[in-house]
Amino acid sequence: MYIEKAKVESIEKINEQTFLLKLFSPSIASSAKPGQFCNVKVSERTDPLLRRPFSICNVEGESIYFLFDIHGEGTKLLSHKKFEDEIEILGPLGKGFVYDGSYETAVIVAGGLGTAPFPFLINRLSKDKKVAAFVGARSKNLVLQHGLKNISVATDDGSVGFHGTVVDLLKKEISSIAKNKFRIFGCGPNPMMKALQKYAMENNFDCQISVEAAMACGFGICQGCPIEASDGESYLLVCKDGPVFDAKKVKI
């Protein structure tokens, strides 16, 4: 884990509200694993006060990428960063995806900005693994395909691809993949992860989900980001024990 002052190498707008940020961050680049995140300082002032968590979207040499949406003040400030600006980032944080194993196809299920961690995962998968990516968005202009491959799209309004949720699309298409062994990797808003978890558990699929929680520190000292363990007896910390969990281990 490092605190690194990273210089902006590029910032690119990839649709009407989504940005791809490339930073020079050698220490984090060399130690990050797919599914991990960084806690990013978006301002030098006290408002906004807390860092903002973002998945590591990809690693390329000594650079890392974040893919983000303008949501509120913090992400707006981040979108105003320019070439050569310095951004202080803390990471890599949390536990990422477990992606080794004997499965043949990595089934990616992503909603909205939930596609963010997958370019990195796809890069690190061993070459013999196939990828099937299912991507959901509210409508056509918000579909994110950056860094993915073999993509099937679902939109809430049906403006492109399957009309419905990405989990419903997965249910419809899974038979074409089920012939070989697969592992599901999910990331998206918590209600979507809940639907994916339910489907995976009912069918006893091998499934890992990346969940979101409000965070202050991002590395385990504030206890601000709990998620209930499936036994109901204790809380796990999304920042430290996650954000990626085996779907069987947590209650969303």
Ligand X SMILES: Cc1cc2nc3c(=O)[nH]c(=O)nc-3n(C[C@H](O)[C@H](O)[C@H](O)COP(=O)(O)OP(=O)(O)OC[C@H]3O[C@@H](n4cnc5c(N)ncnc54)[C@H](O)[C@@H]3O)c2cc1C
Look up residue 110 and give its two tokens. 């992503």
Cβ within 8 Å of residue 49, ≥6 positions away = none
213 binds ligand X (CB under 6 A): yes
CA atoms within 13 A on the CB side of 213: 27
**Contact residues for 200 (Cβ-Cβ < 8 A; gap 6+):** 184, 206, 207, 247
The binder of ligand FES chosen from 87, 170, 239, 252 (CB under 6 A): 239
Using CB under 6 A as the criterion, what x/- string covers residues 77-116 for binding ligand FES? Answer: ----------------------------------------
Contact flag: residue 225 with ligand FES (CB under 6 A): yes
Q: How many CA atoms lie less than 13 Å away from 134 in the CB half-sphere?
A: 27
Residue 201 binds which of ligand FES, another protein, ligand FMN, none (CB < 5-8 A, kind-dependent): none
Q: Are 89 and 56 in contact (CB under 8 A)?
A: no
Three-class DSSP labels, 110-129: EEHHHHCCHHHHHHHCCCCC
Q: What is the dihedral of CA 60, 124, 161, 184, to 10 degrees?
A: -150
SS3 192: helix
What is the phi/psi pair of residue 121, to 5°? -60, -45
Number of chain residues interacting with ligand X (CB under 6 A)? 23
Q: Which is nearer to ligand FES, 109 or 237 (CB)?
A: 237
Residue 55, contacted partner among ligand X, ligand FES, ligand FMN, none, CB below 5-8 A by kind: ligand X
Which positions from 219 through 238 interact with ligand FMN, judged by CB under 6 A? 222, 224
Binding track, positions 180-219, relative to ligand FES; x by CB under 6 A = -----------------------------------xxxx-
Which residue lies nearest ligand FES, judged by its C-beta? 239
Give the nearest distance from C-beta 73 to another protein in angstroms: 10
Q: Interface residues with ligand FMN (CB under 6 A)?
A: 222, 224
Residue numbers at the binding site for ligand FES (CB under 6 A): 215-218, 220-225, 237, 239
